[in-house]
Amino acid sequence: MFETFMGKSYADSPKYIYEYLAKNYPGQYQFIWVLNDKHAKIPYDGIVVKRFTRKYAYYLAKSKYFVFNIRQPLWFRKREEQVFLETWHGTPLKRLAFDQEEVTAASPTYKAQFYRQKQEWDYLIAANHFSSEIFKSCFMYTDGHMLEIGYPRNDLMYDPNKDQIASHLKKKLGIPEDKKTILYAPTWRDDEYYGKGQYKFKLKLDLDLMKKELGDEYVVLLRTHHYIADKLDVSGLEDFAYNLSKYDDITEIYLISDICITDYSSVFFDFANLKRPMLFYTYDIDKYRDVLRGFYIDMEKELPGPLVYSTQEVIDQIKNIEDMNKKYAKRYDQFYEKFCSIDDGNASKRAVEAVFK
């Protein structure tokens, strides 16, 4: 049974583990995918069930293996013979769970719930040694098996045919092939929300100015976090800004992105596998770092690109991208070595061989 982001998408590490299993062990498993869109089409004959339905509960009871990238339902009780593989969904920048002093907008019993749920994780994937050390602390994960094997969701970025795949994706999404692409992928803000798991987001990039200054050469791909409830308004900019927030698999979006702009999202740990330029639009860093969350790394000293605080700075850096690349080349190499050096296109294989006996 596979589930990513509460049934919102067919994506992330569970997708790549599923496809590896289906290709390499045909006929050996029955696959269940949790997807809230019951009309979703997935390859390899997986059975689609909607989250929190009777069928969902049935397969939770019946399945031998679980591959989730989030926590399992609080009411679920894993039997001894069942095996739970938790892939999680990113290398942590922001303080998590037991490393957070206060959990904004979460249930008061959040930490107690987290503690009980992580007790049922037989395996936990870490993309790098940094993550495995953090997970031991923030999840108090000391009893299960830590798989320090790279991220299955990053396998695609090492595919020998990734350029052809990218070209096909651009055609499919209607993105002009003669333009370079800038991905903007911000995360949510913990203190700006409508309700649990429903976060507000106001776009702080001036897309009109970006189009005026960069539109001859570039287009912008927008991708918000799955928690963000607000719809981005790109009306009047349809030939420049493409809202891909509802596109299932962000790894495929990385492949078609020449430059990445993000903030405090784990996006940059994964995008760095491509060794393409990144900049960090951190207009509210003081509040985010010192009040809301706190970070595991020093962004000013370790990130493989500049911190910028206005749309004009973003534009200036992109116009001088070669100078930026040279300036951050050494830091990028160090960042890649620390966070990406295990990834090689075979993380799914390693996960399957460790877990599926």
DSSP alpha helices (H): ranges in 119-185? 129-138, 162-173
How many Å apart are CA 102 and CA 48, to the nearest integer?
Answer: 37
Contact of 297 with 324, CB cutoff 8 Å: no
Total count of residues recorded for the chain: 357
What local confidence, expressed as pLDDT, does residue 266 receive?
A: 87
Helix (H) or strand (E) segment spanning residue 270: helix 267-271
At 228-269, the pLDDT tens digits run: 544 667 778 889 999 998 898 999 999 999 999 998 888 999
pLDDT computed for residue 191 by the predictor: 45
Among all chains, which residue has been given the structure tokens 């963000």?
A: 228
The pLDDT, as a whole number, for residue 96 is: 84
The identity of residue 208, as a single letter, is D
Cα–Cα distance measured from residue 227 to residue 224, given in angstroms and rounded to the nearest whole number: 8
Q: Looking at the structure, do residues 170 and 112 belong to the same domain, yes or no?
A: no
Domain count of the chain? 2
Separation CA 157–CA 163 (nearest Å): 10
Task: Report helix, strand or coil for 47.
Answer: strand
Find, among 152, 354, 120, the residue nearest to 270 by Cα: 152
User: How many angstroms separate the CA atoms of 336 and 270, rounded?
Assistant: 10
Which pTM does this prediction carry?
0.91
Mean pLDDT of all residues in the chain? 90
The verdict on 145 and 220 lying in the same domain is no
| Per-residue confidence band for 169, with pLDDT thresholds at 50, 70 and 90 | very high
Q: Are residues 55 and 200 in the same domain?
A: no
In the prediction, which pLDDT does 229 show?
42
Do 105 and 244 belong to one domain?
no
* Shared-domain flag, residues 161 and 139: no
For residue 219, is pLDDT > 80? Answer: yes
Amino acid 283: pLDDT:
84
Tokens coding 63? 């399945």
pLDDT over threshold 70, residue 23: yes
In this prediction, residues 261-283 reach a mean pLDDT of 94
Nearest CA to 36 out of 6, 71, 74 is that of 6
Please give the share of the chain, as a percent, with pLDDT higher than 90: 74
CA distance 207 to 277: 20
Give me Rg for the CA atoms of the chain: 20
Whether residue 146 is found in the same domain as residue 172: no
Distance between terminal CA atoms of the chain?
Answer: 16
Question: How many CA atoms does the CB half-sphere of 119 hold within 13 Å?
Answer: 13
Residue 193: its pLDDT value, please? 43
18: amino acid identity, one letter: Y
pLDDT exceeding 70 applies to what percent of the chain?
90
Same domain, 65 and 28: yes
Angle formed at CA 269 by CA 198 and CA 18, multiple of 5 degrees: 75
Contacts of 28 (CB under 8 A, 6+ apart): none
99 vs 77: which has the higher pLDDT: 77
By residue range, what is the domain housing residue 201?
156-339
What number of H helices and E strands is found in the chain?
13, 15
User: pLDDT tens-digit profile of 172-205?
Assistant: 999 999 999 999 998 754 444 444 544 445 678 8
Is residue 251 located within the same domain as residue 323? yes
For residue 15, what pLDDT band results from cuts at 50, 70 and 90?
very high
Output the CA torsion sign for 299, 70, 247, 270: positive
One-letter identity of residue 151: Y
Q: How remote is the C-alpha of 185 from its chain's centroid?
A: 10
Q: Which residues pair with 308 in a beta bridge?
A: 281
Q: Any idea what the CATH number is for the domain that residue 176 is in? A: 3.40.50.12580
Structure tokens at 287: 């509040």
Backbone angles phi, psi at 356, to 5 degrees: -90, 100
What pLDDT, on a 0 to 100 scale, did the predictor assign at position 112?
Answer: 87
Q: Are residues 238 and 94 in the same domain?
A: no
The residue-averaged pLDDT of 283-297 equals 72
Q: Which amino acid is present at 27? A: G
Which amino acid, residue 251?
T
Quick one: 196 exposed, middle or buried, by C-beta within 10 A (0-12, 13-18, 19+)? Answer: exposed
H or E, element range at 182: strand 180-185
Residues 46-56: b if buried by 16+ CB within 10 A, e if exposed:
bebbeeeeeeb
CB-count burial class (<10 Å; 0-12, 13-18, 19+) for 283: middle
Same-domain status, 130 and 175? no
Both 56 and 165 in a single domain?
A: no
Do 189 and 329 fall within a single domain? yes
Q: Residue 45 sits in a domain of what CATH number?
A: 3.40.50.11820
